[in-house]
């Protein structure tokens, strides 16, 4: 049972435009959500996170939105740059779960120059 | 500060063999967790260690085991390898291992089982 779902395996966006990556979850116990970026031959690196007490968190070009009622979060990248081309993983954790983080299957973003 | 170091980077084994993977966390980090990444499956949680104790375990068979040493370094062992064990194995560390802490990942060990 996939508790965190990223239904778009890939996404192509023109440089300078907005990239929107989506993620849905089913476990209502999740209260902390993170996005990681992964380049080939490297481990994932943390990008941005959001607690369930918030509905938006910004960090430079990256903004994460959380809609708890819909169990949906999204990552916005504005403007998109070629260096953003990578696989993006949505992840979630619940209190008491320590570092047991549930990841989505990833969305491969390609930013076209 | 050095990052998370995993060795070896690549491994080729045959079915039935066993394998041990090693992970050195970031200095000062006490929590080490392991994940398996396969195409189309994302990252699957294997287990987490904190102060030499396993705190959490994912849904993997008993062939997958691990341990953590007093210096926080961790090893993961897979016995009686199967073809389906071919994957990228990622180690991650964090300071206190709280659920709202970000993970720092190593580059992984790519295991191929023939």
Question: B-side interface with A, Cβ within 8 Å?
Answer: 4, 31, 33, 35, 40-45, 48, 50, 55-56, 58, 90, 92, 94, 97-108
CB contact under 8 A, B40 and A105: yes
pLDDT of residue B9: 96
pLDDT interval class at B114 (50, 70, 90): very high
Range B44-65 burial, b when 16+ CB lie within 10 A, else e: bbbbbbbeeeebbebebeeebb
Interface mutation vs chain B, best among A35, A39, A99, most B CBs within 10 Å? A99
Q: Report phi then psi at A112, rounded to 5.
A: -90, 125
pLDDT(B40) > 80:
no
pLDDT of residue A2: 81
pLDDT(A96) > 90:
no
pLDDT(A1) > 80:
no
**Which residues pair with residue A48 across a beta bridge?**
A35
């Amino acid at each position: 049972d996939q508790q965190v779902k990223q239904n778009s395996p890939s996404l192509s966006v023109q440089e300078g435009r907005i990239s929107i990556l989506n993620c849905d979850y089913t476990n209502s116990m999740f209260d902390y959500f993170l996005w990681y970026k992964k380049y080939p031959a490297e481990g994932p690196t943390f990008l941005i996170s959001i607690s369930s007490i918030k509905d938006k968190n910004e960090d430079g070009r990256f903004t994460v939105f959380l809609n708890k009622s819909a169990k949906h979060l999204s990552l916005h990248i504005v403007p998109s740059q070629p260096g953003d081309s990578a696989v993006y993983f949505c992840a979630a954790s619940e209190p008491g779960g320590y570092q047991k983080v549930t990841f989505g299957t990833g969305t491969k973003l390609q930013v076209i120059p | 500060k050095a990052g998370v170091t995993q060795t070896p980077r690549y491994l080729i084994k045959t079915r039935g063999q066993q394998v041990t993977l090693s992970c050195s966390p970031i200095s000062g980090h006490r929590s080490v967790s392991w994940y398996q990444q396969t195409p189309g499956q994302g990252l699957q949680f294997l287990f987490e260690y904190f102060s030499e104790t396993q705190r959490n375990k994912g849904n993997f068979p008993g062939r997958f085991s691990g341990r953590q040493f007093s210096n926080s370094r961790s090893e993961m062992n897979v016995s009686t390898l199967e073809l389906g064990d071919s994957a990228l194995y990622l180690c991650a560390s964090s300071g206190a291992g709280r659920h709202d802490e970000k993970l720092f990942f190593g580059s992984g060990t790519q295991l191929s089982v023939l």
